[in-house]
Amino acid sequence: MAKGRGKRTKNTGEQPATAESADTGPVEGDYPIDTGTAKLERDHYSPEGWVLKVNGVPSSHVDLAEPERLDFEYMRWIAALIRSRFAPAVFDGNESKLRALHLGGGACSMARWAAATYPNARQVVVELDGKLAELVRAWFDLPRAPLLRLRVGEAGDVLRSLTDATRDLVIRDVFAGDQTPKDLTTLEFTAHAARVLVTDGLYVVNCGDTPALDNAKREAATIGSVFKHVAIIADPPMLKGRRYGNVIIAGSNAPIPTGPEFTRELLGGGVPAQHWEDATVRAFARHATAI
């Protein structure tokens, strides 16, 4: 799986993360954080690229020169899905600003992409590890508030505290080790995600799974129980149960648009992906129990 985290310890309070006293930029090395150790490495294939590992597991990739570049395939699939729903020409930052909530921060790769793609987007990134959030703010060129706020807290607590119908997009990309914490996969949690979204909002989750695909089936059943429309994106070997990896599952109360450009984008890149529409996803999850 492309992303995972070590065992986490909960921070006290949910105060906004603060930057380091001096924004010196990224420096290779090991850094103690609240949940273990962060390791920052250069990407030797890109002069401005950096890889963040948390407790030995690759967590994020950032290109300081190209925020639109997403090195992890599953993030590229999420980006294609977002563009298919929220046309950048419509969410142009003038009359219409994309309002996004990222549950799980890492190096804020998706938030940097969204800031570059949607001018004046309003984003909140929730990260449990306060020290990691401070380091990421110091290392990388992140937009400042109100464009991008880093909030230290537990994803479920923050989600439950938010006002109804205040987000266009919610992305859940939270891992403890190689699994998403169970309390972030339940019907109750998913219902809160639906509650904070506008009518045609989009909920996207990164589900890590084994070849048995039990997690993906349960999550698809849960998201399909809350939202009228559900979709899945993953590479064909993953969907055929041949390897460990990432499955992107999306839910919405409005149809999730697709089209030739969307399909071409999924087929491009180093790992071509397959898209399942609502009927296929519900058939895939028909024997799973929503949790």
Question: 31 to each of 34, 38, 106, 134, how far by Cα in Å?
Answer: 10, 5, 14, 11
Q: What pLDDT was estimated at residue 177?
A: 75
Q: What pLDDT was estimated at residue 17?
A: 40
Q: What pLDDT was estimated at residue 3?
A: 57
pLDDT class for 249, splitting at 50, 70, 90? very high
If you search the block for the tokens 């266009």, which residue do you land on?
A: 168
Q: What is the mean pLDDT of residues 72-80?
A: 96
Q: What is the CA radius of gyration of the chain?
A: 18
Which residues is 177 bridged to in the sheet?
5
For the chain, percent of residues with pLDDT exceeding 70: 92
Q: What pLDDT was estimated at residue 10?
A: 37
Q: pLDDT tens digit string along 97-156?
A: 999 999 998 999 999 999 999 999 999 999 999 999 999 999 998 999 999 999 999 999
Across the chain, mean pLDDT equals: 91
Q: pLDDT tens digit string along 207-232?
A: 999 999 999 999 999 999 999 999 99
pLDDT, greater one: 195 or 269: 195
Amino acid type, 291: I
Q: What pLDDT was estimated at residue 11?
A: 38
3-state secondary structure the chain: CCCCECCCCCCCCCCECCCCCCCCCCCCEEEEECCEEEEEEECCCCCCEEEEEECCEEEEEEECCCCCCCCCHHHHHHHHHHHHHCCCCCCCCCCCCCEEEEECCCCCHHHHHHHHHCCCCEEEEEECCHHHHHHHHHHCCCCCCCCEEEEECCHHHHHHHCCCCCEEEEEECCCEECECCHHHCCHHHHHHHHHHEEEEEEEEEEEEECCCCHHHHHHHHHHHHHCCEEEEEECHHHHCCCCCEEEEEEEECCCCCCCHHHHHHHHCCCCCCEEECHHHHHHHCCCCCCC
Q: What pLDDT was estimated at residue 55?
A: 92
Q: Is the pLDDT at 88 greater than 90, yes or no?
A: yes
Q: What pLDDT was estimated at residue 39?
A: 97
Q: Is the pLDDT at 95 greater than 90, yes or no?
A: no
CA distance 63 to 60: 10
pLDDT class for 19, splitting at 50, 70, 90? very low
The domains located in the chain, with CATH, are 70-284 (3.40.50.150)
Q: What pLDDT was estimated at residue 259?
A: 86
Q: What pLDDT was estimated at residue 7?
A: 30
Q: Is the pLDDT at 4 greater than 60, yes or no?
A: no
For the chain, percent of residues with pLDDT exceeding 90: 83
Q: Which range is least confidently modeled, 20-24, 61-65, 165-169, 194-198?
A: 20-24
Question: 105 to each of 97, 230, 265, how far by Cα in Å?
Answer: 21, 24, 25
